[in-house]
Structure 1
Amino acid sequence: TTVLKYLKTLMELGIVKKETPLTEKAGRKTIYLLADNFFRFWYKFVPNNANAIDSGRIARIYSQTVKRYFSDYMGLVFEKMCQDYLLYYAKNLPIELVDIGQWWGTDAQKKKQVQIDIVATGITPDAYIIGSCKYCNEKIGLDELELLRDYARVFGKGTKYYFYIFSKGGFTEGLLQAAQRGEVTLVTLADLYN
């Protein structure tokens, strides 16, 4: 009860947000995240590098202390960018979006946790967009599409899934061919801004 008071205040200030997997009721699966990207950046990089910043040496160690881990920091930011793209800017979506968010749960067959970056619900309750967001320089391959298909099985709601993969680094030839066959929609970082 002591922590809830502070969490409530942080949520009112917009620093922390409460998330529940999309399509689930609030309960055991609820998590709290830093909602403000400034605070996320600060706590990821500044405390560990405070002495270097104070002494003016941060420029000399930047590539090893910040740039090296920047993709980790950008992961959640990129997911939000991709969700916003689908919700506000994407044209000709296969479903009319009602809600969008993340989903996580347990794969009972493999006995492991599964986290889906994007789950979007539509007007009809049997169709979903299932998406993956990769903020890395490497090209994303067919294994990511197979992973999304497996995650959709674990998600288990609906009968029709439309797969989307967002990537900063692009896609392999095999995945591009799967997109041409209509198995997946591929979105690059540049596509987000066109």
Structure 2
Amino acid sequence: MTFYNRTEELDALADAFDASGSDLVVIYGRRRVGKTELLKAFCNDRPHIYFLAAQEAERRQREKFTEQVATHFEDRVPRINGWDEAFTYLGEKLQTEQTVVVIDEFPYLVAENDSIPSYLQAFVDEQLDGTDSMLILCGSSVSTMESEVLGHESPLYGRRTAQFDVRPFSFEQAREVITYGIGDAVRSYAVTGGTPMYLTLFDYDAPLAANIRSRILSPSVVLYNEPEFLLRTELRTPARYMSILEAVALGHTTPNEVSGATGIDSGPLSKYLQTLRRLRLLEREVPVTASNKKSKRSRYRVADEFLRFWFRYVEPNRSGIEEAPDVVYRGTIAPDLPTHVATTFEDVCREALWAGIRRGDVDPYSELGRWWYGEHEVDIVGLAPNDDRLLLAECKWTSDPVGRSLVERLRTKADHVRWGPGDRTEHFALFSKSGFVDGLADEVDDNWSLYGLSDLEALFATA
């Protein structure tokens, strides 16, 4: 797979390796986000030992690890009786050469022997320290990495010199892969999200519809069963979790709505929701103006665009897809896809505003997020408390140009957003896929900004 982006992570790893002294680096993140490709790119031109742990017996894991260390240093494989001896052997060899040592999928080792973090503590304190080598622990089980490596109770707590929480690509980063024009790029991102593996499976010389049909709506391709595979690798009984994700993807966003759609009582549901958040499959949102982030006005959303697409269109229609995928696409997905993309478009617009703020092309705001209260909602509200300035923005993924009625509605909504003093400054912005009716730009004052797709793309332009 072609390696994209991650330049900040690569530069930080290179700086740490080139500096004097040893390093313990922790890299973690959800499956498929490109952690292994990042490690391979970093290790490519440096002396390294790359060990990929697997779900197999501890003794065999230890033997493979020792064999790789011996092979790297052109040594005879020693007789090793425990992980403490294996790490001692590695430590002796690191005295002779600056080396990057990678243990990928580290949680698999911990699952077989929960004393391994203690053995590594002794190794880091007594043998890695004093060398110029680097030990990298990498894992896809975020909960295990946070508890067994980064957590306060872990023997390794406080010993890391750097950590990287590898996330899916933002829309701006994904544009390096998505070669469509800006409009189709937003539509495509709404399907694949920013997970590198999903992005690279699409053929961007083909229309998006063809990619959806050939790369997702076929039982023989990877993405057809990918979400179920991900859940089964993390959870013993994924059925209820899948029903929750499907309910949220279909628009049931509050705990009460999810409970009603799934039939799961509120008590157990709370634990399921927490688990899905810990696995980074669900996100919890509160209105951006909420002073208490534990606000009861919370909503949930599927944290990944591809998972949201899959649970909205694939999981509920599996029988039809296996019999007549083109009929499902034409009759179910294509007519509803603009509604699905509209949510992604809001996220892309917010990301574009942050890009403009960083470059100084947009007035600064400390927070940007959704706002709602009762029947009133605003797609993006920006807060600048130091200046008592409020931004209200709407994002329209429609086939018709935005007209004057939306301007009036947004002005009215501003009266319902309780934030700041009575004499606060209010700025407004409209984002539109299909532009604006003639004359609208001349009718609004300087407190309004209108962004078509080309203007949106300009916000992402580098300085």
Same fold (TM over 0.5): yes
Q: Identify which of 88, 92, 95 aligns with 2:361.
A: 92
- Provide the residue aligned with 1:160 in structure 2: 425
- Provide the residue aligned with 1:67 in structure 2: 334
- Do residues 35 (structure 1) and 303 (structure 2) align? yes
Normalised by the length of structure 1, the TM-score is 0.87
* Match runs of 1:43-122 below 5 Å: 43-55=311-323, 57-89=324-356, 91-93=360-362, 95-106=363-374, 113-122=375-384
Which amino acid counterpart does residue 66 of structure 1 have in structure 2? I
* Match runs of 1:178-189 below 5 Å: 178-179=443-444, 181-189=445-453
CA distance in 2, matches of 1:140, 1:20: 28
Which amino acid counterpart does residue 361 of structure 2 have in structure 1? N
CA distance in 1, matches of 2:442, 2:436: 10
Instruction: Answer whether contact 1:96 1:123 (CA < 8 A) is retained.
Output: no
Instruction: Answer whether contact 1:178 1:184 (CA < 8 A) is retained.
Output: no
- Provide the residue aligned with 1:109 in structure 2: none
Provide Cα deviations, 1:104-155, integer angstroms capped at 9, x if missing partner.
Answer: 013xxxxxx1011000112525211100011111111011111111111110
Instruction: Answer whether contact 2:426 2:447 (CA < 8 A) is retained.
Output: no
CA change 1:122–1:183 in 2 (3 A) is: closer
CA distance in 2, matches of 1:175, 1:15: 41
Which amino acid counterpart does residue 354 of structure 2 have in structure 1? L
Q: Which structure has the highest strand share of the two?
A: 1
Provide Cα deviations, 1:49-101, integer angstroms capped at 9, x if missing partner.
Answer: 3233212x2224523211110111012111100111001235422x3121110
Q: Identify which of 130, 133, 141 aligns with 2:392.
A: 130
Tell me by how many angstroms 1:182 deviates. 2.2
Q: Identify which of 383, 401, 404 aligns with 1:142.
A: 404
CA distance in 2, matches of 1:97, 1:116: 16
Instruction: Answer whether contact 1:20 1:29 (CA < 8 A) is retained.
Output: yes
CA distance in 1, matches of 2:303, 2:351: 15
- Do residues 2 (structure 1) and 271 (structure 2) align? no
Normalised by the length of structure 2, the TM-score is 0.38
Which amino acid counterpart does residue 168 of structure 1 have in structure 2? K
CA distance in 1, matches of 2:276, 2:383: 29
Which amino acid counterpart does residue 191 of structure 1 have in structure 2? D
Highest CA radius of gyration, 1 or 2? 2
Instruction: Answer whether contact 2:289 2:419 (CA < 8 A) is retained.
Output: no
Which amino acid counterpart does residue 104 of structure 1 have in structure 2? W
CA distance in 2, matches of 1:104, 1:117: 9
Which amino acid counterpart does residue 2 of structure 1 have in structure 2? P
For the residue of structure 2 that corresponds to 1:136, the secondary structure is coil
- Do residues 169 (structure 1) and 434 (structure 2) align? yes
CA distance in 2, matches of 1:104, 1:98: 19
Instruction: Answer whether contact 2:321 2:328 (CA < 8 A) is retained.
Output: no
Which amino acid counterpart does residue 317 of structure 2 have in structure 1? N
Tell me by how many angstroms 1:39 deviates. 1.6
Tell me by how many angstroms 1:183 deviates. 4.5
Instruction: Answer whether contact 2:317 2:328 (CA < 8 A) is retained.
Output: no
CA change 1:9–1:188 in 2 (3 A) is: same
Instruction: Answer whether contact 1:128 1:160 (CA < 8 A) is retained.
Output: yes
Identity score, percent: 28
Unaligned runs of 5+ in 2: 1-266, 459-463
Instruction: Answer whether contact 2:398 2:434 (CA < 8 A) is retained.
Output: yes
Q: Identify which of 289, 292, 302 aligns with 1:23.
A: 289
Tell me by how many angstroms 1:32 deviates. 1.5
Structure with bigger RCO (C-alpha 8 Å, 6+ apart): 1
Greater than 6 Å deviation, 4+ residue runs: none
Which amino acid counterpart does residue 415 of structure 2 have in structure 1? R
Instruction: Answer whether contact 2:428 2:449 (CA < 8 A) is retained.
Output: yes
Unaligned runs of 5+ in 1: 107-112
Instruction: Answer whether contact 2:369 2:382 (CA < 8 A) is retained.
Output: yes
Which amino acid counterpart does residue 189 of structure 1 have in structure 2? L
Tell me by how many angstroms 1:47 deviates. 3.1
For the residue of structure 2 that corresponds to 1:173, the secondary structure is coil
Instruction: Answer whether contact 1:145 1:184 (CA < 8 A) is retained.
Output: no
CA distance in 2, matches of 1:61, 1:138: 26
CA change 1:61–1:2 in 2 (3 A) is: closer
